[in-house]
Structure 1
Amino acid sequence: MNEINIAKTNRTIKVWQATAFTTGSAHAKLRVLIIAQIALASLIAISTARPAHASIPAAQQYFDADGLLDGTDGVTILSGSKALAVGAGAHALASRAIAIGWGAGVSNWAGIAVGSGASVAGYDAVAIGEQALGTATGAFAGGVNARANLLATTIGAYSAATGDRSSAFGAYSSASGRASLALGQNALAAQENSVALGAGSVTQVGARAGYLAYGLPEPQTSAGEVNVGQRTISGVAAGAADQDAVNVAQLKALDSKIDAATARLANTLTYESNGDGSVNRNSIVLNGEPGSGGTQIHNVADAHDAHDAVNLGQLSTMLASAVGNVAANGASPFFGAAGDAASEAAFAGGAHSIAAGASARARAEQAVALGADAQADGTNAVALGAHAQAAGMNAVALGVHARASNTNAIASGVNANASGANAIATGANASATSTNAIATGANASASGSHALALGASATASADNSVALGYGSVADRANSVSIGSPGNERRIAHVAPAIDGTDAVNLNQLTQSMNGALGAANRYTDDKIRSLRRDAYGGTAAALAVAALPQAMMPGRGMVALAGGTYGGQSALAIGVSQLSDTGQWAVRMQGTASSRGEAGLALGAGTHW
């Protein structure tokens, strides 16, 4: 440790030397080269006005900070720890720790805390933003009041990833289930292995074992739940495997197939209608027409995100460009900058603010600007990278020309733009321009309110829409798209549906279709068997009538009874006949009743000469 005595204030500044070190976790890598030892030649007496920079050496014109300067809010670091603490009240109390910002604190090995009140308690954890908190090993918390637990990642104002290995992206999003994922403003994933997609989506059931799914006889098991918040899922390719999702085109094809089967049932076997609307049971019409073929769902390929979120290696590059390893004018071998001190001096004008880099500006209270021409104009804003701009309250801009211009907005990546309130843009040229919008991936765009675009060149232009995967387009409100016209994707490993709004898989669809076709066949077979018995009963009645004897003597009558059987059906016939006294005229009446419950009556008269 080196001590520098300042004559004008009779104070000693203690600065710990730090060498290059590397930290790592399951989800990110960070390599930061910190070489810090500040030598101040003189200080101007503290007053209500800002001290002039004229008395500060040229190399130190690129670092500025504001505090009480009475010894009560100085930085604190662990002796011999190779740690770095920058900002009023900042404390780095562990080996290789970095604490930047008013009241920022790190208490575990290799932790990084950037922003007013940011705090890291976990090994190799990162917290960026006002009051951001990384509580356990490998945690990454980005955004005002963001919270992250063991190996968890959260990005967004007031977001929280409290479940082990969970992820939360979006303002007020929460992932409390183990290995859960919440994407979108106010999204909530509370169950293990579950996913909440889109603003306001909430998981409810999580993983389930031994449950009965609609249309399936055997108990089913699911690994978790995906909830999209009453949105339409668009761009779904036709499924083929048992666990694939099906699209509306397949359902329409099934509906057409069922309609065709129903039409065949109605038209295959019917009685002929008479002109007066009555049914002629002695005539049968066969007029069935085959229906059109259905559409199958084929095997669904596994889906993969096109781009990862900003990693710690990118953050290392930003910090390296802001802090640097250039000694200027021999002032210090561990901290320096190159430029025109008279015209490119850093300026920290807000209370407890920090500015480092040529022409860097931290104009608002508790703002942090690191990098050449970095601008932090919003209260609690953080701008890291050359020309980065954080203009909104609690905004964070990370990367060259990154812009976060609205309240709680986060922009990460080269030319990333987050202009909507609570918006998040992550990736080169990513854009989130509407309220609570999220765009993640190179050239991703989320312009609809509460929209989410995840993947390179993904576009979510409609309100409450979600676009997942490279080139996906979600241009309809309250919809989820996993592709674009001509570039559809399949969804694999879909658990059997239970509720009315659940997606169905091919297995359920096939079983439902087979059940409908089986019922149709049974109905047709029953109708044919019934009609055959009716015909056999009619034949038996005809045989019985033919067997009836008739009066043969003039002036005499006869009552006759006869029976008949055919094809397992039977009939009874009764007849009355009379001849005139001369024998010239004959009258005959007869009736039948069959085992099919049908009755018949016949009347006839004749004369002969």
Structure 2
Amino acid sequence: MNRIYKVIWSKVKNCYIVVSEIAKSHSKPVSMKLNSGKTVAAVLAVTALCAGMTGIAQAATNTEGADQSVAIEQSVQASENAVADGIGSNMDAESLTNDNIGEVADEDLDPLTIKLSKERPIADSRVALAQAAATYDGWTLAVGIGPDAITDKYGTASGESTKISSGDTVTLQAGSGIKLTQDGSKVQIGLKFLDMAPAGWPFNDAKANGGASLAIGQNSVAEGQQGTAVGFKTYAGQYSFAGGTEAEATTSSVAIGNYAKAMTTKSVAIGGGKRKVANKPSAGYKKIDSDFAVAIGNETYVGENSDGANALGANAEVTSSEYGTALGSYAIVSSSDKAIAAGGAANVTSSKQSTAIGAGSKVNESVNATAMGASSNISGSTNATALGASAKVSSSQNATALGTGVSVTNSAYTTATGTGATVSGSQYATAMGHLSKAEGSTYATTIGAYSGVSTSNYGLALGTGSKVNNTTGGVGLGAFSVADRRTDIFGYNPTTGQSFALNAEMKAAFDVWQAAVVEYNADPSNTSKRQAVIDTGKQYRTLTSEWVSGNGAVSVGNSADSMTRQIINVAAGSQDTDAVNLAQLKAVNTKVDDNKISYVSINTKKTANKNNDQAGVPDDKSSRDAAVIGSNNITTGLGNWNLVVTGFGNTIKNTSYDATSDSVTEKLVNNAYVYGNENIAQRGIVIGRYNVITDSGLNSTADIAIGTRNKNYGTRSINIGVSTLTNGVDSLAVGFSAKAPVTDAIAIGGYTEANSVGSIALGQGAVANAGGGVALGYESLANRSAGSIGYFSTLGSTERAAIAEKLGKTAEYNQLVSTINSYSDLAAKEAQYRSYISERQKNQDLLSAEVANLSTNAEGSAAYNASLAKIKEYQRLIKENNDGENSLSGIVSTNNPDYQALLKARTDLRNMFSAYMSTESAISVGNTSKGIYRQITGVAAGSEDTDAVNVAQLKDLEVAGLNFKGDGDTVVHRDLADTLNVVGGNTDTTSLTEGNIGVVADDTT
């Protein structure tokens, strides 16, 4: 404190003296030398100790002193530059030396002794220091507020109508505020409150009991060492801070806010507390009941058994969940260790290590589950992921639902992708495409919009609307194909003209097999009986496989709808179970060299399937459902699964560079299906030769490359043909040298290119350069971007302002332009945000290509090291792009009201000119640079302003023309471009009727 004085005992002077609190300590207390000004201040400070915050004022009547001296009360005198601090009749301070206080003759009074007058009344708001009657040890002082204040002996005088009787002892202590409290027969006067009005009963002092602690406020307590309590009825323990009405904090904790409670170790509670019983304040409040927890927001709460938990947002709550996090208003994590609920009303209940992100997202009674997207939901599942609005996984394990409205129910090791796709009651199943379904089927796959596999283990439906129903291993291939022919169908025998019939050996083998099945069903835990079923079944199929189907049929049509397809380009079959082409059928009728035996020979010097352990570690449980035929370069020893490789020289490795350890490591290879030679793949489906599939980091298993020398560097991308290229996400390249190097691009046809996001190129040589543009037809070029303004015939202008004026919307146009311009800074940040995303995708594509290149070089070689250096650089750039994107994601967000306003203004402006200005890139059916133009035929007449107009509508304008009618009833019609002759004359203009035309002479008015 500045300029604060207190009274201490001087061993040198053998009396009390006044000193400054800002004076430095000495080995012995000594009296303080004061100049005349400081002397006056010292006396006033002593008096203020009695008349401080309690509102008591000193009585200073009949005071007289010499120049620069002060005398207090009756008959007190002071010499020049001195203060008489002994107070009573005939006290003489002339013997005091300059700048000293309180030295009086021993025969008069004890030094610094103040006596009370007997029964002397004390005026309102005054301190009475009056005539001494006797000598006592120490000081005595009468203090009171209000007239006629009375109190018992040794009582405390505080408040109105109180009085300390003669002889009571008062101890003066330093402080900027004063409170009187009773300590035995003594009254302590010291710092208890700081400028605080009483707040009701009980009216207790602030208590700072611990070392270096501080308590401020009525009933506040700082009990522990270095604790701080501020506010009414606050409590702070050791190393803690509590601020706010009835806030409480214990060891090393912080509680800020009304009824905030941090009564645990090293916790932080900020914001109003939560009632223990709703609508019952008297039951008390709670905020944090676990160690190392954080609760921020009004009525947020971290309950018991939730060490290390965090709750942020109004009414957010974490209970019985160690290291749980609830982020957002009404977000809840309950009985879920290491779980996260982020978003308004997000909820994770009874789900360890799970995450719910998005408004209304939920995870319930699950483990290691992730639900991301508004109203996404996971329940009763393990290792599940639901990504997308209303995506759902229930009662499933190792399941993934990706897309809006996608669901996985009662399934395991399954994936559903595409709007409304579903998987139910299935294992190891995949549904991909809009409203695709896999139901009650194990190891089933359905790809294509509206495709489905139902009650068909190992079924495959490929194509829009394709189906596999009630048949094991059935295949529906092509749009709207249906495979519903079951297994064990006997083929046609041309020698008998009937279906094949089992011979005696086959029947015996079948009976043995069925008997083994019966025994196994009676004792399913017997492994030897299970093996007997496998062996006898294999023996039966060996005898019958050429005549009896072992799996469901492959369908390329739909017999119910009489839909069929030719299977073309079929090579001549060589094995009994191969398909036969038409040439072989024709040759049956040509008997060349009867009775001659023909042979088929397979000759290779390569190591084929001898001692081939490339399918994974035999004893590793993670090695399952893997098959490898041929000599290939495959990650081994790590437990690969869902891996099928057939051929020679294929490289199947998931190589990753770890920047932390500066090393290249191999990961598990899962969900890879490679058929052919010398392909490179991390995952996905590869058929052919010299194809490459790598991944940009999303670990997609939906990549497909079919053909030769195709390069698939994207995610969920498809390459079909020769030398095709895909990059980005969900891109498609079909045809010789077709290229779709960006996200959502489609290139179909030889030499087609879809070079911008969302662009489509269809037809040989078609090129789409504009984002979202469509090039349709042979060598068509689409390079006109969005924003082009069409011709306005009645205006002859393509300026938006002129069109707005013609439409009578100038004011609205100017307002929208002004609004958009006012957000120029935000628009610049939006452009930067888009740039970060674009650059990241470009670097991810380059990284994927370089990872493929790395695997082709010998480790330690110059080429290998150069490739590794590029990988490091791409990873660094990707991190920079991600950091930049994340730094702006909160600004360029629909949650930002300014960004919402900017988007709305842009949309309103586009809608204003919707009939005259394109909002997306153009669809091109030709190429002006090559003189290619096409008619668009079969166009119906347009009905809306933005519809295309056909020739019939244009012809109708020709005959619409104008009708002319004079004063008579005659009507004259002229088509457009026709001439109407007007004969001159002199018409009396006064005789013209309204709506008629007359001819007048020149200068006639």
Which TM-score bucket, shorter chain as reference? 0.3 to 0.5
Larger Rg: 2
Higher strand share: 1
Give the TM-score normalised by the residue count of structure 2: 0.22
What's the TM-score once normalised by structure 1's chain length?
0.35
